[in-house]
Structure 1
Amino acid sequence: MTGDGTPVLLLHSTVCDRRMWDPQVPVLAGAGCQVIRCDFPGFGETPMPTESQNEADDVSELLDRLDVGATAVIAASGGGQVGLEFASRWPARVTSLILLCTAWGGHERGPELRAFGAREDELLEAGDVAAAVELNVETWVGPAADEATRDRVRVMQRHAFEVQLAAVDVPPSIGHETELKAITAPTLLVSGAHDLPDFRQTAAELAGLLPGSQHVELDWAGHLPSLERPDLVNPLLLSFLRDRP
């Protein structure tokens, strides 16, 4: 947690961990926000679960422990799928929702995303973690990012692989259907022109299903725009959050 003021919860991509938000935290805190970020199970400093769990439940319990009733939510990729579920199950707790290149369970995977998953599985099964890390960096980090940013993603993705591959007898996660019609928060959907088609299509699909939502596609961005060009994304985040409770 950083800063004081209006709560803003940051949910990371499953290529990264909570450190992906380093470029956003001081800017949001400086704008009068209380910034909350967490690691999902198996990422960053959070170990793999020892019993069945649901990440949206985890988010709700975390906010309860912090005595945060309602918050803005900024979520990326796999974190966006958690954010959508959280906003649909507890709509009164989400004041606004910003989804960056979000995943969504209602979208059927296309050939590019299926091919990526198959290749990643193949490399990990062969024990070639380094190649799997590079596959993720090449796939998810857009052309606008510098080498230092690519290195940051390498560090986070490698750590996630190490934590997850070392786990044994991992219990299944608890699934809940996301009811989009229940979401009441004003929503900004951000996609990247250099991202895989799945995530661009997901943003467009959700924009047609979430009343009052906005969709912005960034012509320079890949899958992780908040890391690739924080100087361009941070003003977009602040502009959408401004004047909202």
Structure 2
Amino acid sequence: MTLAYDITGTGPTAVLLHSTVCDRRMWDPQRQALADSGLRVVRCDFRGYGETPAGDAPYRDADDVLDLLDALGVEQAALVGASYGGRAALALAARAPHRVSALALLCPALPGEEPSARLTEYDRRETELFEAEDFAGAAQLNAEVWLGPEADAATRAAVAEMQLNAFRRQLAATEEHDGAEDIDISALAAVHAPALAVSGAHDMPDFRAPAARLPELLPRAVHRELPWAGHLPSLERPSEITGLLTDFLH
């Protein structure tokens, strides 16, 4: 399957990987500015998100991203991942470190963590809404839970719309598959690309802790916590994150 994607600009390639609460449109505030800074910006939709159908065969999202890089003739790229997109970036880097020139990970997830009480309660509420077939309500819940206090009403509405679109695509699939994979944590020691791990002070501990831990796992990683941020800082203070990414990727 070919992922839906778009390309903006010319220069070294930066691939933007979205959260599972969103799709590639979450990077609308950053796309043009990063391209104007001299980067070739590639955005893609994972299977079951945005314009990419869910499909019916087992798959791994990191493999899909590698296939996209191969199709575009890109030998090496910077990976910018938000939440699950950060986990997919780490999975790709662990298996193919030579393909990664830099890692910018915003509130990334790592497998194997015991869920916090906050995450467990969120899962319970979303499950109740799904069982009631209130998919619009579930999408709204995600916008409320995953955006921090800086997000405005328009941003919350946009996230809810992206999430509802994902629900519809995934419900249309004849079989349910999860493109996530376990990450060989020990393999991250071979990833020598510079890495920036960002966490938000208003986010769940399930994402703050992995970001803070990454400098122990990646040889060239630094961690930065944003005191104002929730789980999706690129949408909460777009211009600040655009500047942060521009500085790091250059």
Aligned AA for 2:132? A
**Whole-Å Cα distance in 2 between the matches of residues 80 and 174 of structure 1?**
11
4+ residue runs over 4 A deviation: 171-174
User: In structure 2, what is the equivalent of residue 3 of structure 1?
Assistant: 9
Please tell me whether residue 58 in structure 1 is matched to residue 61 in structure 2: no
SS of corresponding position for 2:8? coil
Alignment: residue pair count: 242
Asked if the contact 1:39–1:45 (Cα under 8 Å) also holds between the matched residues in 2, the reply is yes
- Give the share of equivalent positions with the same residue, in percent: 52
Equivalence map 1:79-90=2 (5 Å): 79-90=85-96
User: For residue 29 of structure 2, what is the amino acid of its counterpart?
Assistant: P
Aligned match of 2:230: 222
Shift of 1:208: 2.2
Whole-angstrom CA distance in 2 between matches of 1:235 and 1:219: 17
2:17–2:82 contact (8 Å) kept in structure 1? yes
CA distance in 2, matches of 1:55, 1:185: 21
- Within a 5 Å distance, the mapping from 1:196-211 to structure 2 comes to 196-211=204-219
Cα distance change of structure 1 residues 173 and 229 upon mapping to structure 2, 3 Å threshold: closer
CA displacement 1:128-148 (0-9 Å, x = unmatched): 112211210111011111111
CA contact (8 A) 2:148 2:203 kept: yes
Show CA shifts across 1:160-214 (max 9, x none).
1111122222346473533322322111000111111111111112222222211
The 1:224/1:173 distance shift into structure 2, 3 A limit, reads closer
Extract unaligned runs of 5+ from structure 1.
none
SS in 2 for 1:56: helix
- Residues 71-100 of structure 1 show CA distances to partners (whole Å, capped at 9, x for unaligned) of 011000011110000011110110000000
- Aligned counterparts, 1:68-217, within 5 A: 68-171=74-177, 173=179, 175-178=181-184, 179-217=187-225
Residue 177 of structure 1 aligns to a residue in which SS? coil
**TM-score when normalising by structure 1:** 0.95
Question: What is the TM-score when the length of structure 2 is the normalising length?
Answer: 0.93
1:27 is matched with: 33
Report if aligned partners of 1:15, 1:157 keep a CA contact under 8 Å in 2. Answer: yes
**Secondary structure, counterpart of 1:238 in structure 2:** helix
- Indicate if the aligned counterparts of 1:89 and 1:182 stay in contact, CA closer than 8 A: no
Q: Gapped runs of 5+ residues in structure 2?
A: 1-6
CA contact (8 A) 1:109 1:198 kept: yes
Does structure 2 conserve the Cα–Cα contact (< 8 Å) formed by 1:52 and 1:174? Answer: no
Aligned counterparts of 1:82 and 1:177: Cα–Cα separation in 2: 9
SS in 1 for 2:46: coil
SS of match in other structure, 2:108: coil
